[in-house]
Amino acid sequence: MVTTLLNTTKSEEIFSAAQALMPGGVSSPVRAFKSVGGQPIVFDRVKGAYVWDVDGNKYIDYVGTWGPAICGHAHPEVLDALHAALDKGTSFGAPCYLENVLAERVIEAVPSVEMVRFVNSGTEACMSVLRLMRAYTGRDMVIKFEGCYHGHAGMFLVQAGSGVATLGLPDSPGVPKSVTSNTLTAPYNDLEAVKKLFADHPDQISGVILEPVVGNSGFIPPQPGFLEGLRELTQSNGALLVFDEVMTGFRIAYGGAQAHFGVTPDLTTMGKVIGGGLPVGAYGGRKDIMEMVAPAGPMYQAGTLSGNPLAMTAGIKTLEILKRPGTYEKLDGITKKLTDGMAKVAEETGHTACGGQISAMFGFFFNPGPVNNYTDAKQSDLEKFGRYHRGMLEQGIYLAPSQFEAGFTSLEHTEADIEQTLTAAKTVLSSL
């Protein structure tokens, strides 16, 4: 058995009280540790590649506030920029020059984006881009993929992966059938299934939306030719191709997955990294499509805190850091060392596992593999993952509390952090 190293008395007290105050004691479901057992730890502070809980325990963090902390938590340059911005106010609700600056950087970096609209979350970005797809094409149906999560808007809660998969909910109560009746689903990495949907619904499908690298069923990359095939299928059927790069944007490459794979969608949603740790979202794409958005066009979408000066400031500084020479080479090297090491440790300890990485995004399944879609991911040993997660936590390693979530590294993770993580993994896996 793994030796218990943690005293989490304060975390337990705080979480126990939280359950009388908030549904499940949390503000977002996966945080509740339902799929891994035990109670969640309650954070007190974060810095660099590390987090500390309220009991004073320190962990190496591979969640990175679910992706945004690519430069490391509380990066000093980002904090300095935010301190200066705070003196000018926390919210304007009016045009702000910082919006121009961040917009220019996003447009410069992301191949598909000629115009961009800032919002407040990835969910809001995906809700808005779906409305835009329908407005531009005059069609109602949309194709999404099983296990791809595009936020908690009703029309996307169909085979949604992520927290829905973690909690074992097939969909969600409160979402009428009429809301999802125009949402079609296909297995990820299955072009033939998409072809059939287009054939069965001619001139009715507005577009295809997907995570170009899935992060909400665990880490699942596209098979060779899959993204290219979707590009051809959408163009030949008069539909739009949308990459949900809320997770992959500026993480697997400065220009996102579309730059990494060389496939340019019509529209893109973004979030996480572009806000540098503050609440943010964005959607953008071809100018002729984006000019449908109010007030330039008839498709309405608005938000009081959209373009918030603090989020814009943090995003600008984060992208500035990421654009420096060698950034993505460093991220890729440190992440590859982790995933290659994990594969070796699993083999040495007699566990069947598979995984992979692209730049600063990775995954690890207790599954013989290959894992090409959500159905494959569900064949993983979830009970073993729960024990592994708890064991790693005891060893001071904070992993996403679900088999169905990708992991993230940052510029602040060191070779020593990776070695400590692999040593912990060997200790834990030897005991399972």
Question: Percent of the chain, pLDDT > 90?
Answer: 87
pLDDT band at 183 (very low <50, low <70, confident <90, very high): confident
What pLDDT score does 359 carry? 98
| Domain membership flag for residue 165 | yes
Confidence class for position 163, pLDDT limits 50, 70, 90:
very low
Mean pLDDT, residues 317-345 taken together: 98
Query: Taking the complete model, does pTM exceed 0.85, yes or no?
Result: yes
Contacts of the segment 292-296: beta carbons below 8 A, 24+ positions apart: 292/132, 292/135, 292/136, 293/117, 293/128, 293/132
What number of other Cβ atoms are within 10 A of residue 89's Cβ?
Answer: 10
Q: What is the pLDDT of residues 361-372, one digit of tens each?
A: 999 999 999 999
Q: What is the pLDDT of residue 168?
A: 38
Q: pLDDT value at position 319?
A: 98
Least confident of 100-109, 161-170, 216-225, 246-255: 161-170
Q: Cα-atom radius of gyration of the chain, to the nearest Å? A: 21
pLDDT at residue 147, as a whole number: 86
Q: Please check whether residue 385 lies inside any domain of the structure.
A: no
pLDDT at residue number 159: 54
Mean of the per-residue pLDDT values for the chain?
A: 93
Does residue 100 sit within a domain? yes
Residue 179 belongs to some domain of the structure: yes
Q: Which pLDDT belongs to residue 167?
A: 39
Domain holding 299, by residue range, is: 76-322
Q: Residue 356 domain-assigned?
A: no
Tens of pLDDT, residues 7-61: 999 999 999 999 999 999 999 988 989 889 888 999 999 999 999 999 999 999 9
Residues annotated as part of the active site: 149, 244, 272
Tell me whether residue 13 is in a domain.
Answer: no
Q: What is the CATH number of the domain that holds 238?
A: 3.40.640.10
173 — pLDDT class (breaks 50, 70, 90): low
178 occurs within a structural domain: yes
Mean pLDDT of 268-272: 97
Lowest mean pLDDT among 153-162, 237-246, 267-276, 374-383: 153-162
Q: What is the pLDDT of residue 149?
A: 83
Q: Count how many domains the chain has.
A: 1
Residue 15 counted as domain residue:
no
With cut-offs at 50, 70 and 90, classify the pLDDT of residue 166.
Answer: very low
Decide if pLDDT at 176 tops 80. no
Window from 45-54, 178-187, 203-212, 245-254 with minimum mean pLDDT: 178-187
Q: What is the pLDDT of residues 86-123, one digit of tens each?
A: 999 999 999 999 999 999 999 999 999 999 999 999 99
Question: Which residue(s) pair with 365 in the sheet?
Answer: 354
Task: State how far Cα 378 lies from the chain centre.
Answer: 19
Confidence of residue 260 (pLDDT cuts 50, 70, 90): very high
The reported pLDDT for the residue numbered 172 is 63
Which pLDDT does position 2 carry in this prediction? 43
- For 57-66, the pLDDT digits (tens) are 999 999 999 9
Q: Which of the four pLDDT bands, split at 50, 70 and 90, describes residue 1?
A: very low
